[in-house]
Amino acid sequence: MRTLQSFVLILGLSFFVTSFNRIENTNLSHKKTPKTTAASTNLKNDDSEISNDFFKRYADLKKYKSDIMSLYKNRELGTIWYDENEINEFGSVLYERAKNTNDLVIPYQKEIEKLFDSSAQGTISKTDADMLLSSLYIIYAKKNNTDAKKMSYDAMLKDFMNYNTIEESTVATEDNKMLFDQYYKLQTVAKQYTKLDKSNKWKPIVTEMPYKDLRPDAVSNTIAQVRTRLYLLGDLKQDSKSDVYDRELMDAVMKYKVRNGFKPNYILAEEHIKEMNIPISEKVKTLMLNMERCRAISAQIMSNDEYVLVNVPSYELIYVKNGKVQMTSSVFVGSPLTKTTIFNGEIDRIVFSPYWTVPQSIVDNELKLKIAGDPNYLADHNMEIVNGQVRQKPGPGNSLGLVKFMFPNPDDIYMHDTPSKTLFDFEKRTFSHGCINVKMAKELAAAMLKDYPEWTQEKIDSAMEGKTEKSFKLSKKIPIFITYFTSLVNENGEIGFFQDVYEKDQELVTPSVVLN
């Protein structure tokens, strides 16, 4: 849990800590084959039928036509702001930046707002939506004095990656400098790993086949190789070359597992060996990507003395108050098919003993067959149908547990307790439909309510009895930051690498980061 604590000030103050989904550069050697979209090759030419039609219907944008179309020039990727059928994080960043820019006049603002409102009536084609967002970028960029001669997809990437934010932000005060320690810590590790890569000491660990889990007191040539690996990584102070899984190696394995987010035990499974065998050059790339995520922090830092931060790849939550970490908790998040959205928001309500209104998609895809096959299914699962919707009544078996934390967002995700505590024992915890399930949800609620004298521990316990739903509106909203960092350095200077559960690292351009 301590992984997050050394850099919470970095992350908690920023909306722009996000991995930009589907940002691809046509010059990349690892370029993916693009998917065909409605806005594909047609958008590459100024005189294309589709663009002419767009500017006829959105006449107020015609004066920006050449700039807008320059974003699509020489690009085979089609849409810029979409990941399949959803606006990507890059588009969300643009929307938030534009909204927070003073005196920015946005033509067709209502149409653009509808793109981010899941409840909005009517639909806009993906092609129109993408070009509307491109026009928003051009208007935003011109407001911020971006050189009109440099309007292009590559220039847009550089603008959004915000290469100067660290220098701009750390100039203000010495106190701000600590906010960016994580960047420099990652840089230090990247230098060390680059040096290790050049030394040719990093050799693949060759295991016996079929592989069998290695446990304390085991004797194996694999053990000797693991020992060397952990010595190179700094988890062991010396390499005895012994092939016996002894006490010294047990301590090193535990250290390695804890800092990398694995289940804290002494078993060396095949997946752990595979992680150890990732080429050191790939580790350096991961460090550089996460350095870049730090660099994307907004230069306009607003200090928050209280906030919740969730880092998806490490499945961890921290709660900070008065600038200090009050508690940490394990979480599990959305599956790769129902990803937890990377964004920021504000917790405005705590709901005790909540009802769970089952999303219609779950009803259609999962419950209908179960209900059809078992007339007692609803009653057996403490469910009922109200106004045509299936909902689960409050109680200890409720899928939301005994408390949930609400923060308005277009994806309708929230944090909540869960009765499925055993799921927190897994190393890869991607089980939900997008919401964040918190292991210590009850403790988090109590910590948040300490400034509300009426909410005694007895009242909290009573509210969580699971009989009647009780909602409490916070007088002071609590910021929440949901982030995506696949490598972090803890307060002891130990690097941790976490699973790229949503494969966002491979979608990013590896930045040219100076390691000298």
211 and 142 fall within a common domain? no
- Intervals of the chain under pLDDT 50: 9-42, 44-47, 161-180, 298-302
Same domain, 451 and 346: yes
Question: Which residues is 436 bridged to in the sheet?
Answer: 415
Residue 123 inside a domain? The answer is: yes
Query: What confidence score (pLDDT) does residue 97 get?
Result: 77
> pLDDT for 352-375, tens place per residue?
999 999 988 889 888 998 988 898
For position 334, which CATH number holds?
Answer: 2.40.440.10
| CATH code of residue 244 | 1.10.101.10
List pLDDT tens digits, range 82-126: 876 778 767 777 887 788 787 888 999 989 988 888 767 777 888
Domain membership of residue 93 (yes or no) is: yes
Q: Which pLDDT does position 18 carry in this prediction?
A: 33
Contact at 8 Å (CB) between 192 and 234? Answer: no
Domain boundary among 162, 177, 193: 162
Lookup: tokens for 244: 């016996």
Q: What pLDDT is stored for residue 152 in this prediction?
A: 66
* 451 occurs within a structural domain: yes
Question: Looking at the structure, do residues 311 and 404 belong to the same domain, yes or no?
Answer: yes
Distances (CA, A) of 439 to 419, 420, 423, 443: 9, 9, 9, 9
- The tokens of 389 are what? 């919707």
Residues 103 and 211 in one domain: no
Total number of domains in the chain: 3
Range of the domain at 218: 203-278
- Check whether residue 264 and residue 342 sit in a common domain: no
- Assess if residue 368 is contained within a domain: no
Place of tokens 């934390």: 405
Q: Would residue 259 count as lying in a domain?
A: yes
The answer on 270 and 215 residing in a single domain is yes
Query: Cα–Cα distance between 432 and 338 in angstroms, integer?
Result: 7
Which pLDDT score is estimated for 335?
94
Same domain, 340 and 462: yes
- Residue 183 three-state SS: helix
The pLDDT score that the predictor gives to residue 322 is 87
Catalytic residue set: 416, 435
317 and 263 in a single domain? The answer is no
Last residue of a domain, one of 241, 261, 278: 278
Distances in Å between the alpha carbon of 361 and those of 27, 303, 368?
39, 39, 10
Same domain? 349 vs 407:
yes
Question: Which of 100, 132, 162 lies at the terminal end of a domain, its last residue?
Answer: 162
Handedness of CA 91, 97, 100, 101 (dihedral sign): negative
Tell me, yes or no, whether 312 and 438 share the same domain: yes
Asked whether residue 147 falls in the same domain as residue 232, the answer is no
503 part of a folded domain: no
Instruction: Kindly state whether residue 389 falls inside one of the protein's structural domains.
Output: no
In this structure, the answer to whether residues 104 and 237 fall within a common structural domain is no
Residue 283, in any domain of the structure: no
